[in-house]
Structure 1
């Protein structure tokens, strides 16, 4: 697919996806989180992190992904996946602690979810180095109020926010496959959710938005359903996010007809 090749090749010109599985890589993750969550957007108190590494209690049960900008070697974006507590599957996720009212409004019974394969997408952060458009600087993900401004043409190397966003989602998929995750929680900026929807990445809202690190929408999704929706709507995006099926295979019922 020509469009598919263009998207992947353009992404690879600018970015690398890495799983932060060493102390040095984790230090880069926590340093960027400090910059984004404590300095650029002071949602967390910088004085609580004298080492300038932003961490919390959920990092002990998390895996972390990062996106590195090839031209400089800098880490420009990071995301974590809060994993289930397999010793006590009832242990709360951050979303369950911070968005209780939204769960109550939605009627979603968290005990019915597959808690041993449930994870939360969390600490989505993009460096100010990539936030150059109006409305981006005050966001964590760097997505301004108009998602349409990021979608076409996606293969323009100067429009880096959509590429780094897709890179973070590719890291999420890679980490989810490695840890047998079947369902995702997330609490995202509404503008980020709108952008993901434009790329065929759709989550189900949980209740109403909440004021948590700014206005955020709690949501969830079954991994297979999210990726199947992406496959049907944007196979070029699906190929980038799944490593063209290497990190997560295509939906079996569509494979023979579509490829």
Structure 2
């Protein structure tokens, strides 16, 4: 079994280039959400990166980065157009959108997981010269799901602990339904705050109350509230 470590990555850390390269791999090459022509150096970046806290999942024994996510801080000075990406790209329901203080709000975005750990060795099996038994394919798919779940959960732990440290109370996110359903099974509840839009694929805007979700997760999946493996409080 592969072990993973999770850390916050500062903007001046050389590993940021590896994070951007992973995002390019997922968002430009594999999924086509972004045009490679807009990122000629093979690094997917945008104007919100400097207003964000970035996190990574690494293979423990090699340091290879295989997952990343960020939170964009709503109160960051110089935020483009004074809005979070969700506020710019989605039409939010005035009755459901966040109405609190800006320093209590952030948007979760740019979740990216390496293809190797989304699909594990199943891709190699499909193109192998020898026949692969169905039981092997099932086992490989199950292994892929386990790795993907571990990485998503670890990145969530990073976001949660960073948010508590920053005094945040709510998160925005624009997600596909599948990810929202996965998180709901773990006890992370999101409220739909607008209609589906074309934004890196067909996605829906959501809002989550961090304290309420901590209570739900504490009952259904308390592991989500633990500190992720390798976590360091950089600000201490």
Q: Flag whether TM exceeds 0.5 (same fold).
A: yes
Structure 2: which 5+ runs fail to align? 124-137
Aligned to 2:196: 209
Larger fraction in helix = 1
Give the distance between the partners of 1:240 and 1:23, measured in 2 at CA: 22
Aligned to 1:20: 9
1:17–1:171 CA contact under 8 A, matched in 2: yes
Aligned to 1:69: 59
2:166 is aligned with 1:184: no
Aligned to 1:96: 87
2:212 is aligned with 1:225: yes
2:98 is aligned with 1:107: no
Q: Secondary structure at the match of 1:57?
A: coil
Equivalent position to 1:33, from 13, 23, 48: 23
Aligned to 2:75: 85
Give the distance between the partners of 1:177 and 1:237, measured in 2 at CA: 13
Q: Secondary structure at the match of 2:156?
A: helix
2:45 is aligned with 1:58: no
Deviations 1:101-139 (A, max 9, x none): xx13x63354x2221110000101111011227xx9xxx
Q: Secondary structure at the match of 2:48?
A: helix
Describe how 1:114-193 pairs up with structure 2 within 5 A. 114-132=101-119, 159-193=146-180
1:114–1:183 CA contact under 8 A, matched in 2: no
Give the distance between the partners of 1:65 and 1:15, measured in 2 at CA: 13
Structure-2-length-normalised TM-score: 0.79
Q: State the Cα distance separating 1:206 from its structure 2 match.
A: 1.2
> What is the root-mean-square deviation in Å for CA atoms of aligned residues?
2.9
Q: Secondary structure at the match of 1:67?
A: strand
1:190–1:215 CA contact under 8 A, matched in 2: no
Give the distance between the partners of 1:215 and 1:157, measured in 2 at CA: 24
Q: State the Cα distance separating 1:236 from its structure 2 match.
A: 3.4
Structure 1: which 5+ runs fail to align? 1-9, 137-148, 248-259
Q: State the Cα distance separating 1:188 from its structure 2 match.
A: 1.2
